[in-house]
Amino acid sequence: MDFLLTLLRAMPGAVGQGLIWGIMAIGVYITFRILDVADLTVDGSLATGGAVCVLLTVNGCNIWVAVLAAFLAGMLAGLVTGLFHTACGIPAILSGILTQLALYSINLRIMGFGTDAGTKASLAVSVNDFDLLVSSRYIRDVALNNPILLLLVLTAVLIAVLYWFFGTELGSSLRATGSNPSMARAQGINTKFNIVLGLMVSNGLVALSGALLAQYQGSSTIDMGRGAIVIGLAAVIIGEVILGKVFRNFALKLLSAVIGAIIYYVVIQFVLRLGLDTNDLKLLTALVVAVFLAIPYWKGRYFTKSVRKGGQANA
Amino acid sequence: MLELKSVYKTFNPGTVNEKRALNGVSLTLNDGDFVTVIGGNGAGKSTLLNAVAGVWPVDAGSISIGGIDVTRLPEHKRASYIGRVFQDPMMGTAATMQIEENLALAARRGKNRTLRPGIGRGERERYRELLQILGLGLEDRLTVKVGLLSGGQRQALTLLMATLNRPKLLLLDEHTAALDPKTAAKVLETTEKIVQRDHLTTLMITHNMRDAIAHGNRLIMMYEGRIVLDISGEAKQKLTVEDLLEQFTKVSGSDEADDKMLLS
């Protein structure tokens, strides 16, 4: 009974975190599923979003402006990765790793801006002193300042905007770029531009998520994005496995990534209450993602119905 | 309409895999020419089409379409003048997108992609009419994902997409080779219908000599990166498969036209 009660008490926190990471998962969905690029920039750009947002906030900037600045900083990170990939011909994964590594130094500089040392590994922002959008302090309050409320609205707005965008001429050409680059080029689509654009939008969202996360936990830290890509992938995949059959519409697919993130954090709370060490979480996450990524491959390889000999896919 | 002046292309230069794929190709297509291209494997047929389409830059020479020099234009910019159908039915369409979405993408070839809706009002009606030409019943399946279609259906759709905006040039790279004979014949028939209707300047590669003779007003044969035979008009109409084999033997210097594909 005690176990259930503590678990229940942890639920609002899990949902709040899930919603914040859900925005990040939407960013990952854009690169991983729509553009068909595994973008590892996000580990860095998440922390960049947090760092930029907190730095501006503690220096007296309006919180909404700070969040917007974080979004733009993330887009800039995506631009760099995109240019590494398209203009320099570096493989996408490596481009992301390079940017992510570079961002580690940059994030230290951002958080250390104005200090004597010039670098700082964390930057605190207290909800006592600043008008933050979301804070874990109010996560169990039944009030308007409960972060879940704002996060729900924000998520809905983001999904609506993205749904509109990917339905436009430009958005459609972006989907075509991910679906079949040679077809896209033959139809006059500038695939390089689209890949850069997609990476920018994706990392903008990831940084936005980082900005919210930093407010939520009351500080931005240098390692807040470590393994973010794996959590994002986990959210996308969990969402697909559980809701993929039901959610066919594009907006619902984005929503399923968010729900995947929430489920991820609920499950995490559950295993933590069961006594799992926090330090082992990343191992568990990596294993879960590996298995879910492998399932479609295994299905195709070992569980297909045997075809008549000499039979071919219908031409 | 299309003019190539001594175009050269060598793949993997300076390595053991060096391959001179185009060896000074010059070719001029007049408006409305329907040219079939034959030749053995590695003769440079596909390389020729890819050079025109701008898949990679050529080493030397110039290419112009409709009087516009496109030699230095990237692939996606040349696309505004060119419609293409590939050999692989999977290559010409986006599998995860709907039939109407694919058509809408093609309809905007050569235009700026803006933030207007991806499919405008009234477009669907036009697509429905166009799809009827194919006679595959696709006009009633506009919102079906292309990935669910058969290879033949996808190829027919690609053909429709390639010709949607009346391109200055239509490039067909063995677009029926991967289809079963019956489907191939049907796609070829549709090709003929559309090319005639729109009076399209067309370059069609084929492995099938009979098709090469039966279609188009002009035939060119390639060998080792060069055009070795160029027949048009009446001479083309009188051409037989035996004539072509004889010619092939002459240029290749071998006793037999050993290229199995050539005979098919």
Measure in Å the smallest separation between the Cα of B176 and chain A Cα atoms: 11
Residue B195 in any domain: the answer is no
Residue B108 in any domain: the answer is yes
B97: chain A residues, CB-CB within 8 Å: 172, 175-176, 179
Q: Would you state the structure tokens that stand for residue B150, as one six-digit string?
A: 């058969």
Torsion angles phi and psi, residue A17, rounded to 5: -60, -40
B155: chain A residues, CB-CB within 8 Å: none
A250: chain B residues, CB-CB within 8 Å: none
Task: Say whether residue B95 is in contact with chain A using an 8 A CB cutoff.
Answer: yes
Find, among B155, B200, B184, B204, the residue nearest to B38 by Cα.
B204
C-alpha to C-alpha distances, A26 to A233, A259, B6, B188, nearest whole angstrom: 10, 10, 51, 44
Examine the fold and report which residue of B116, B149, B166 is the final residue of a domain before the chain moves on: B166
Find, among B26, B30, B28, the residue nearest to B5 by Cα.
B26
Q: Say how far apart CA B218 and CA B35 lie, in whole Å.
A: 5
- Residue B254 pLDDT: 62
Do B98 and B122 belong together in one domain?
yes
State which residue of chain B sits closest to A174, comparing Cα positions.
Answer: B113
Do B60 and B100 belong together in one domain?
no
Do B87 and B75 belong together in one domain?
no
Residue B186 in any domain: the answer is no
**Exposure letters A9-35 (e unless 16+ CB within 10 A, then b):** ebbbbbbbbbbbbbbbbbbbbbbbbbb
State which residue of chain B sits closest to A35, comparing Cα positions.
Answer: B96
Task: Say whether residue B80 is in contact with chain A using an 8 A CB cutoff.
Answer: yes
Measure in Å the smallest separation between the Cα of A191 and chain B Cα atoms: 8
Question: For chain B, what is the total number of helices (H) and then of strands (E)?
Answer: 10, 10
Do B73 and B97 belong together in one domain?
no
Nearest CB to B117: which of A167, A182, A187?
A: A167
Do B68 and B115 belong together in one domain?
no
Give SS3 for A284: helix
User: pLDDT 10s digit of each residue in chain A, 315 long?
Assistant: 788 888 888 899 999 999 999 999 999 999 999 999 999 999 999 999 999 999 999 999 999 999 999 999 999 999 999 999 999 999 999 999 999 999 999 999 999 998 999 999 999 999 999 999 999 999 888 888 899 999 999 999 999 999 999 999 999 999 999 999 999 999 999 999 999 999 999 999 999 999 999 999 999 999 999 999 999 999 999 999 899 889 989 999 999 999 999 999 999 999 888 888 988 888 988 998 898 888 878 888 887 665 544 444 444
State which residue of chain A sits closest to B117, comparing Cα positions.
Answer: A168
Q: Say how far apart CA B87 and CA A186 lie, in whole Å.
A: 14
Q: Say how far apart CA B200 and CA B163 lie, in whole Å.
A: 9
Crossing angle (nearest 10°) for helices A228-243 and A281-302? 50
Task: Say whether residue B94 is in contact with chain A using an 8 A CB cutoff.
Answer: yes
Residue B67's domain is classified under what CATH number?
3.40.50.300
With a threshold of 0.95, tell me whether the complex ipTM lies above it: no
Residue B75 in any domain: the answer is yes
Q: Chain A interface residues facing chain B, Cβ-Cβ under 8 Å?
A: 165, 167-173, 175-176, 179-180, 182-191, 313-315
B106: chain A residues, CB-CB within 8 Å: 187
Edge-to-edge strands, sheet with B60-65: B19-29, B2-11, B60-65, B68-69
Q: Would you state the structure tokens that stand for residue A301, as one six-digit string?
A: 């390889």
Do B161 and B112 belong together in one domain?
yes
Q: Is the separation of the CB atoms in B60 and B11 below 8 Å?
A: no
Structural domain of B143? 82-166
Q: Would you state the structure tokens that stand for residue A266, as one six-digit string?
A: 């609920």
CA A30 to chain centre: 9
Residue B263 has pLDDT above 80, yes or no: no
Task: Say whether residue B73 is in contact with chain A using an 8 A CB cutoff.
Answer: no
Q: Is the separation of the CB atoms in A98 and A91 below 8 Å?
A: no
Do B73 and B91 belong together in one domain?
no
B111: chain A residues, CB-CB within 8 Å: 188
Give SS3 for A7: helix
Secondary-structure class of domain A2-302 per CATH: mainly alpha
Residue B264 in any domain: the answer is yes
DSSP symbols for A15-46 = HHHHHHHHHHHHHHHIIIIII----TTHHHHH
Q: Contact B75/A185, CB-based, under 8 Å?
A: yes
Q: Is the separation of the CB atoms in B61 and B4 below 8 Å?
A: yes
A196: chain B residues, CB-CB within 8 Å: none
A89: chain B residues, CB-CB within 8 Å: none
CB pairs under 8 A between A and B: 97
Question: Average pLDDT, stretch B73-96?
Answer: 95
**pLDDT tens digits, one per residue of A157-191:** 999 999 999 999 999 999 999 999 999 999 999 99
Q: Is the separation of the CB atoms in A221 and A10 below 8 Å?
A: no
Q: Contact B105/A185, CB-based, under 8 Å?
A: no
Do B31 and B69 belong together in one domain?
yes
Q: Say how far apart CA A311 and CA A248 lie, in whole Å.
A: 31
- Residue A217 pLDDT: 95
Residues in chain A, total: 315
Examine the fold and report which residue of B166, B192, B214 is the final residue of a domain before the chain moves on: B166
* Number of independent structural domains in chain B: 2
Residue B179 in any domain: the answer is no
